[in-house]
Chain A
Amino acid sequence: MSRWIPEGPGIPDAQRRARGPVACIECFQQIPCNPCEEACPRGAITVGDEITSLPHLDTEKCNGCGLCMTRCPGLAIFTVDESCGEGKARVSFPYEYVPLPEKGSRIDCTDREGHFVTEGTVYQVRESKAFDHTAIVTVEIPREYSMDVRFIVRPAPTDSEEVNPDA
């Protein structure tokens, strides 16, 4: 597992993360893109007129609602909540595979490179028409891994979900 902690204008500091849910915008290349800016109902994300600028997160305005996560075409926005007590943290990430993980199930959680970090529990799976087929999965994990865990080992499709059952 890699213990790289990202830095940038979209990354909240440790103090802010400890206070409650907040976005973590892991967008580090100058690509012409700004849907995150208008996705935020609280105006917490600023890209500006130069749409290749990296998104800047106002961590005081951000309440970690996660609406930006489903609008980012790069699937590069996560939310972290280190305020849930008992040494736990909740990490949310966009998810565009079937089947969706089951709420309450134990699941292997991975880092940005897909390497195993820790076991966790699927705390929540959010879907909405407005998300346009990008679900938000939230896992509950030991707090020390809140900036490492960014994905899960995807649950295997069951027979009925096989894209091509004849293959």
Chain B
Amino acid sequence: MRKVQLLIVGAGPAGLSAGIEAARAGVQVTIIDENLRPGGQLFKQIHKFFGSRVHNAGVRGFRIGEKLLQETRELGVEVLLGYPVYGIFPGGEVVYGSADGVKQLQAEKIILATGANENNLCFEGSVLPGVMTAGAAQTMINLHHVLPGQRVVMVGSGNVGLIVSYQLLQAGARVEAVVEAGPAIGGYGVHAGKLKRAGVPFYLSHTVQRAMGTTEVEAVELVELDHFKAIPGTEKIIEADTVCMAVGLTPMTELASLCGCELVESRGLGGLVPVHDHDMRTTNPNVYIAGDISGVEEASTAMEEGRLAGTAAAESLGYIPAKEAARRKEEIHGRLDLLRSGQFGARRAQAKIEIERSFAQIKRGGEVR
């Protein structure tokens, strides 16, 4: 069976960053991704990123993706595309699909950077053509240059809903409404400001009750909510041909589960996530995680977590002396702390602390394999 030192599952911002960091230290790295193109969601991100210079702030996401790909090429990182990983077995045996059928390889260390899945809502008419996730609409406009529709209702006002709404406007669609079940806009005020200036109406304390139409979406019925309960008689109908859902994401933890990694429920980070320590190591000592699988955040945090996991994996393989590794990891943690500060980041910072606490508890209980 083919042997690799470090296998990274997922070629998004976290996986690529992890690969770059480990390869720089001298580790032989293979990255595998089921998609035909690398970069994860980065190449859909046409907006300028937040953060500071060390986080590539002010740079459009897809340009950061180009830079990461360039670096992986220069470092000779192997990137296998179109290959879904089916399973990971004890001893680091990895089974994956390829053009030549099912294959196996053996990895000394594994970093899971599988990302997250978009959540869906179920309502009358939610199976009509025209109802899709915000991410799907973003793929259509920014990767394939196709408008999903002319008149869009966006459900969810977190940063994903706000950013994709703005990009739909840029692509030439009309955004008829941004609908938010909570009493306040979820994402950054400045993102919402772009939409408001363009005249997009916001419906706070509202949800979509049904999508109407016979063969496709023709209109959307909204209803006002009182503490998330529909208020009868407040229904309003908005003509639209597209409904986009931006109602959160859920970490993709299936492979971590197969590896025997302990999972913990983290409300602040999108659901069940693999328990991990300060180095992104799971309760399976040969498996690390990075990016949205470890809790849904942003591409900027995913890249830093990738660097952290890549450094820690390289250290455990003997490629970085402990003292030097500690210095690098501390630097990365400093940058992560910056991204998790302020009114929006504090909750995620707290959730991460709780996960590390769970790790310590499990370790004390002797459950680490």
- A residues in contact (CB < 8 Å) with B: 26-35, 38-39, 50-52, 71-76, 93, 96-97, 110-115, 132-134, 150-151, 153-154, 157, 162-164, 167
- List chain B residues, Cβ under 8 A from A134: 48
> How distant is B23 from chain A, measured CB to nearest CB, in Å?
28
In the assembly, what is the distance between CA of A110 and CA of B198, in Å? 9
**Contact across chains for A112 and B196 when beta carbons are under 8 A apart:** yes
Q: Is the CB of B198 within 8 A of A29?
A: no
Question: Considering the complex of A and B, which 6 residue pairs feature the smallest CB-CB distances, nearest first?
Answer: A74-B190, A52-B342, A114-B199, A35-B58, A30-B342, A151-B197
Whole-angstrom distance between the alpha carbons of A71 and B60 in the complex?
10
Q: Which of B53, B145, B191 contacts A74 (CB 8 A)?
A: B191
Q: Nearest residue in A to B200 (C-beta to C-beta)? A: A114
What bracket does the count of chain B residues touching chain A fall in? 35 or more
Q: Which of A73, A97, A115, A132 has the most CB of B within 10 A?
A: A73
A163 touches B52 (CB 8 A): no
- Chain B residues within 8 Å of A, Cβ to Cβ: 47-53, 57-60, 141, 145-147, 150, 169-172, 188-191, 193-194, 196-200, 338-345
Query: Given A33-B57, A112-B196, A164-B172, are A52 and B345 neighbors across the interface (CB < 8 Å)?
Result: yes
Which A residues touch B58, using CB under 8 A? 35, 39, 71-73
Contact B341 A51, beta carbon cutoff 8 Å? yes
Q: Using Cβ atoms and an 8 Å threshold, which residues of chain A touch B196?
A: 112-114
Cβ-closest chain B residue relative to A94 = B194
Partner of B190, one of A76, A93, A110: A76
A133: B residues at CB distance < 8 A: 60
Closest to A29 in B: B189
Q: In the complex, are the beta carbons of A31 and B344 less than 8 A apart? A: yes
The docked-state distance in angstroms from the alpha carbon of A31 to that of B310 is: 27
Specify the chain B residue showing the minimal Cβ separation from A113. Answer: B196
Cβ contacts A to B, 30 pairs, < 8 Å? A29-B189, A30-B343, A30-B344, A31-B188, A32-B338, A32-B340, A32-B341, A34-B51, A35-B52, A35-B57, A35-B58, A38-B53, A39-B58, A51-B51, A51-B341, A52-B343, A52-B345, A73-B49, A73-B190, A74-B191, A75-B190, A96-B170, A112-B196, A112-B197, A113-B196, A132-B60, A157-B172, A162-B172, A164-B146, A164-B172
